[in-house]
Structure 1
């Protein structure tokens, strides 16, 4: 019996689909989608995690003594890669970070039990790089500063709970460099200091009412 072209194409399609499905399954065999417990991993000195003698790729979980989830993260070829999350024993999410090739890369966020943000900082290849922010319990901004290659760089500002500036300081490569001003709650300067490469050059003080603190009158810096 002669096979029709339609039947031959159908059989070929079924064969190709089965072959591609098998190849896809084999290609995915190295990745574990079912989480394993962190206690099952073994860590080498190079912070590479192994499971059953092979560098592990897949999801990992860690639990508190009360069996509630403490951490969840993913590994790729034995190294942290992807989103890490942490919870307290009551089940509240308290932290979240992004990793790439074993190093924290992206935003790290720490949360309060209430769910509000406590602080946030950005990383590039495991090093602080970019804005750092910290908040009061009520969600108002407390501190904002900038990191460059792991060191404070630029203007660092600290606020009072009412939103007024408490401290403003300038940094360069991790050292105070330039003008630093501390203020009272009423907005009056408390002291002003000038730094150069981390060394104090001059410093002037004032009382809460704005009068100079000391014998010498303040100079305009």
Structure 2
């Protein structure tokens, strides 16, 4: 299975933030994330792959909801269980009454819509191991958010305050190696953003202040050779920016002034020089 999606986390508007965060958490944790992909400085594009034969949902297990009327009209306490009565989810309060027909369990493991009240939402894999633990207040993410792989190892963890990401955010590879570490302050990226390959070798690092990249960005290929090296000021490229092919041969040397290319040199993979005009046109669309 090959899945490609971008992570563009948080806005300052709470409703938008909640929708984006929910989408991210669902997407990330529905896949075995191997953290292959490309960092475009201001966001992340993951290209994640997994073997369908190793999916915990490969047999398409079915689940059913256990319902109980809530204290208020048109509210229900709901818990989804596997057909052997082991829990898929913890019990939660909702204003959306689900169908009582069996459904695929994989479709019901996400943080429910129309959640009410305050508590902890949990979900579990078919093997009984935990999949998620999400703290919420008045139906909104608030507190710790944790996900695990089906093998029991941690997949990701973060902290959210009233629907806004705040604090450290981390993702792991399925083998237990840390894949991503970054920080948020009131929904904006702050501090170092670092990524590693599954063997522990560095992939990239950059520093953010108030959601803007500042200072040096550095990125490596899997073979350990440097891929990109550049400087940023207030979220835009400023100064010299270089990139290399995976054999170590130079690809481009760009000089920026406040985000605008003022000089450029490019080479093909066969080390042939590219006209300056074409070089600038090729890279001007990059951030």
TM > 0.5 fold call: yes
C-alpha change, 1:59 and 1:183, in structure 2 (3 Å) is same
TM alignment of 1:114-129, pairs within 5 A: 114-129=175-190
Residue 220 of structure 2: which of 151, 159, 184 is its match? 159
Question: For residues 252 and 192 of structure 2, what CA distance do their matches in structure 1 show?
Answer: 26
User: Do the aligned residues in 1 keep the contact of 2:193 with 2:206 (CA within 8 Å)?
Assistant: yes
Aligned to 2:123: 62
User: Do the aligned residues in 1 keep the contact of 2:172 with 2:180 (CA within 8 Å)?
Assistant: yes
Give the number of equivalent residue pairs.
Answer: 173
C-alpha change, 1:101 and 1:60, in structure 2 (3 Å) is same
The alpha-carbon deviation at position 101 of structure 1 amounts to 3.4
Greater Cα radius of gyration, structure 1 or 2: 1
Question: For residues 128 and 171 of structure 1, what CA distance do their matches in structure 2 show?
Answer: 15
Residue 102, structure 1, aligned to residue 163, structure 2: yes
Aligned to 2:265: 204
Residue 213, structure 1, aligned to residue 273, structure 2: yes
Aligned to 1:133: 194
Question: For residues 117 and 165 of structure 1, what CA distance do their matches in structure 2 show?
Answer: 20
C-alpha change, 1:120 and 1:212, in structure 2 (3 Å) is same
User: Do the aligned residues in 1 keep the contact of 2:196 with 2:202 (CA within 8 Å)?
Assistant: yes
Taking CA–CA contacts closer than 8 Å with sequence separation of 6 or more, which of the two structures ends up with the larger relative contact order?
Answer: 2
Q: Unpaired runs of 5+ in structure 1?
A: 1-36, 217-221
Give me the TM-score of the superposition, normalised by structure 1. 0.64
Question: For residues 63 and 119 of structure 1, what CA distance do their matches in structure 2 show?
Answer: 24
Give me the TM-score of the superposition, normalised by structure 2. 0.51
Aligned to 2:211: 150
Aligned to 1:15: none
SS in structure 1 of the partner of residue 273 of structure 2: coil
Instruction: Compute the RMSD of aligned alpha carbons.
Output: 3.3
Aligned to 1:72: 133
Aligned to 1:24: none
C-alpha change, 1:154 and 1:48, in structure 2 (3 Å) is farther
C-alpha change, 1:202 and 1:129, in structure 2 (3 Å) is same
